[in-house]
Amino acid sequence: MQLDNASVAQLREWESQLTEQYQAILAKKLNLDLTRGKPSAEQLNLSDAMDGLLQGNYIAADGTDTRNYGGLDGLPEAKQLGANIMDVDAANVLVGGNSSLTLMFQVMLTAYQFGLKDSASAWKNEGDVKFLCPVPGYDRHYTVCEQLGIKMINVPMTSTGPDMDVVESFIKADSSIKGMWCVPKYSNPTGVVYSDETVERIAKLGQIASANFRVFWDNAYSVHDLSPNAPKLASILEATRRHGTEDSVVQFASTSKITHAGSGVAFVAASAANLAGFKKFLNSCTIGPDKVNQIRHTRFLPTKDALMAHMGKHAELLNPRFDAVLTALGKAFDGTDLGAWEKPVGGYFVSFDTRKGCAKETVRLAAEAGVKLTPAGATYPYGKDPEDRNIRIAPSVPTVPEVVGAMEVFVTCVKLASVKQQLASLA
């Protein structure tokens, strides 16, 4: 199917065939859901052995009684777990509660309100504060910025990461840009892994950006490979050390999609100066994190090998679901001008770009046919996809037959929305 050169008669014929297919789908009264980027129950089961694992032994390697207060920046063995996940030194890790998003919000709040370095470095002193947002991206990053009144600027994603020419020119031109969001491995939603060159150029931004610029490096999918030959992400920590820009990057990760999503452990990795600034803030919020949960995690995942073997079990469950999505997209759209997508080898999402102006209508048609998709626009700041093209597909929760069924509906809705729109544009 090629719409650009199709005649009106041909388009009308396709429209009537697709409408018939769509009516047949409506009659099935489906109830399927491709919206949620969360682990399935089967994936959660993989970590159930954590329950009861402590058997009354609450004492950490350094003698800390994990049941008591204290330990603002986490147990040494939990820092090592964070280091294994993020590929950094344990000395650079702070261990928090169950959510890395909370840590991102708190670090952003500290930088904005109190300053990560000192009170003079607080972004609020400088009037307008702006953040670069590679798009499509993760909606909850945008919510953090919106909550703090930080203006967001779209930067296009490419197959090697954010378009770095655009990033560098924005930063050189505008000193109110105080940071950038990055999901460097299996980016949410495109699944892209940043290339070595992209990582290198991001590490150098601290040399051209205004003072107190911070990259928020959300490495949520750092070990979430679908294949043993996973692409390797270059070390941003090592690159910033080489360029003398260590303070310009703060990294985040968690075990949310490793163990139990609602009761995991979250991590920040940063320079000594950034950690000191953040701890000053944290000290006013809490006497310390849940160290019992930290030690449960470190006993369950004591080494990098144990961690990677555990992630292999997640991959076994996720792979057939991703295959079902990618097979359906390939069969329906290879060689057509109806859409474009990346083929991720990790993470939680497949991101599909329709023809311009067709995403909302596709999502609406699918919803009417009983297939829930993430609202079109959600992957852009302020919920506004300027070209109305991007749709995020999250296949982890439904069963494989459900993913297959939902994708049949999805491709029909994409085709119908595209044909209708092309006919309208020719009218």
Complex with ligand PMP: residue 14 or 186, whichever CB lies closer: 186
Min dist CB 418 to ligand PMP, Å, is 28
Complex with ligand PMP: residue 19 or 106, whichever CB lies closer: 106
Complex with ligand PMP: residue 110 or 256, whichever CB lies closer: 256
Burial 253-264 (b: 16+ CB within 10 A, else e): bbbbbbbbbebb
Alpha helices by DSSP H, listed for 191-345, are: 196-203, 205-208, 236-243, 272-282, 291-300, 304-333
> Are 95 and 250 a contacting pair, CB within 8 Å?
no
Which residue bears the tokens 């999901």? 183
Burial 329-340 (b: 16+ CB within 10 A, else e): beebbeeeebbe
Give the footprint of ligand PMP on this chain (CB under 6 A): 37, 99-101, 138, 183, 188, 218, 220, 254, 256, 266
19's CB contacts (< 8 A; 6+ apart) are 416
Complex with ligand PMP: residue 37 or 405, whichever CB lies closer: 37
Min dist CB 255 to ligand PMP, Å, is 8
Helix axes 196-203, 236-243, angle to 10 degrees: 40
Complex with ligand PMP: residue 39 or 115, whichever CB lies closer: 39
- Distance CA(61)–CA(67), nearest Å, equals 14
Min dist CB 190 to ligand PMP, Å, is 11
Min dist CB 251 to ligand PMP, Å, is 12
Min dist CB 186 to ligand PMP, Å, is 9
DSSP structural state of residue 225: B
Handedness of CA 268, 271, 274, 280 (dihedral sign): positive
Complex with ligand PMP: residue 252 or 352, whichever CB lies closer: 252
Measured in whole angstroms, the distance separating CA 119 from the mean position of its chain's CA atoms is 31
Min dist CB 358 to ligand PMP, Å, is 25
DSSP structural state of residue 342: -
Complex with ligand PMP: residue 92 or 254, whichever CB lies closer: 254
Measured in whole angstroms, the distance separating CA 285 from the mean position of its chain's CA atoms is 26
C-alpha distances in angstroms, 57 versus 53, 63, 81, 292? 9, 11, 19, 10
Min dist CB 138 to ligand PMP, Å, is 4
Complex with ligand PMP: residue 145 or 332, whichever CB lies closer: 145
- Distance CA(289)–CA(103), nearest Å, equals 12
- Distance CA(224)–CA(230), nearest Å, equals 9
Min dist CB 155 to ligand PMP, Å, is 16
